[in-house]
Amino acid sequence: MSSYNLTHLSQLEHEAIFVLREVAAQFERPALLFSGGKDSIVMARLAQKAFAPAKLPFPLVHVDTGHNFPEAIEYRDWFAEDVGARLVVRYVADSIKAGRCQEEKGPNPSRNGLQTVTLLDTIEEFKYDACLGGARRDEEKARAKERFFSHRDEFGQWDPKNQRPELWNLFNGRKNQGEHFRVFPLSNWTEMDVWQYIAREKLKIPSIYFSHQRRVVNRNGVLLAESPYITLLDGEHYEERTVRYRTVGDSTCTGAVESPASTLAEIIQEVASARQTERGTRADDKRSESAMEDRKKAGYF
C-alpha cells in the first residue's frame, strides 16, 4: 500500500479550500475581504483554486482607510483585474463625511478602528451574509479564540464568551435575519506557512514586503512611514532606513521592520529566526491589553 500522506502545508491548503467551498454552499451573498496584504492574497489564491475553472463566486471587498500604502492599493486593483473578480471598495473618508464616525485626534490619528463602521455599513449595503477574512489564530491572543465560522449578531458584534461549539469539520452557518458570519479559512496557518505558500505558489506580492529604502520616524519603537497623515512631535525626525513590512495595514499604525530581505527565500529565513511577533509592529494592538478583543467585539475584521 502506498502511503497516503500530505505535507502539513498541503493539509492546510485542503482544509482552507474545504472551508471556502462551505461558504459558497451555505451562504447566499458571501464576500471576500481583500486588502492586498499577504494573508488576503493567499486566501484569494485558495479561493481561485477552490472554484477553478469557474470564476470566484464572490466579490473582493476592500475597506479603504485612505491611509493605505499606495503599493497595496495598486496591487489590489491589479489582482482583481488579473483574476477577473468584481472589486467593491468603500471609503472610511465617506463614512466620516456622512457623519457615521469621527476622525481621531492626536499626532497619528488612526482610521483603523473607524474601518469597523465602514465595514458594517458595507455589509449592510450589499446584504453580505458571510465575509471571508484572512485572519489567523497565531496572530493575536483574541484571534486565537476564533472559530472558523464566527457568528456576528445583527449589530455585527462578536460574543467571545458564547461562541457556538464547532465540532470536527461541521460548520453551522445558520443565522437569523440581519446576522452574518465571519469566516476564516486560514485559521490554522502561521506566518511561516503563509510565506511558504507564497513561495510554493510563486505568488506576486506588493513590493513593500521586500526590503527597500524609506523615510521613517521612530515613535515608541514603531517605525512609521513618512506620510501626510503623521505630525512629527518635538524631537522627532524622519530618517532613511532599509526596511520592509511584515504586515500591511493602515500606514499610520503599521510599523516597518529594518531588514535587508529582498527575496522570498530571505524573508522566510528572517521569519524563521524572528524574535518578535508580526503584530509587534502594529501600534493599533499596543493601545491596550484587549485592544484586539474590543475591536473584534465591535465588529472589526
Contact yes or no for 131/34 (Cβ under 8 A): no
* Under rule CB under 8 A, residue 280 binds other proteins: yes
User: Of these, 152, 293, 299, 300, which contacts other proteins (CB under 8 A)?
Assistant: 293
Residue of 73, 217, 39 whose CA lies nearest to 143: 39
* Under rule CB under 8 A, residue 220 binds other proteins: no
Q: Quickly tell me which residue has 461562541 as its cell.
A: 163
* Rounded CA separation 110/288 (Å): 15
Instruction: Using the CB atoms, write b or e for 101-132: b if 16+ within 10 Å.
Output: beeeeeebbbbbbbbbbbbbbbbeeeebbbbb
Contact yes or no for 211/262 (Cβ under 8 A): yes
Helix (H, G, I), strand (E, B) or coil at 218: strand
Give the angle subtended at the CA of 183 by the CAs of 156 and 27, to the nearest 5°.
Answer: 85
User: Of these, 188, 207, 218, 242, which contacts other proteins (CB under 8 A)?
Assistant: 188
String marking each residue 37-66 x if it binds other proteins according to CB under 8 A: ---------x--xxxxxxx-----------
Identify which of residues 4 and 28 has a Cβ nearer to other proteins in the complex: 4
Query: Which part of the chain contacts other proteins (CB under 8 A), choosing from 125-133, 206-214, 223-231, 267-275?
Result: 267-275
* Under rule CB under 8 A, residue 86 binds other proteins: no
User: Of these, 86, 102, 104, 144, which contacts other proteins (CB under 8 A)?
Assistant: 144
Query: Which part of the chain contacts other proteins (CB under 8 A), choosing from 87-95, 126-134, 142-150, 209-217?
Result: 142-150
Written as one string, the DSSP assignment of 29-43 is SEEEE--SSHHHHHH
Residue ranges in contact with other proteins by CB under 8 A: 1, 4-11, 13-15, 17-18, 21-22, 24-25, 46, 49-55, 137-138, 140-142, 144-145, 147, 160-161, 163-170, 172, 174-176, 187-188, 190, 192, 196, 199, 265, 268, 272-277, 280, 289-290, 293
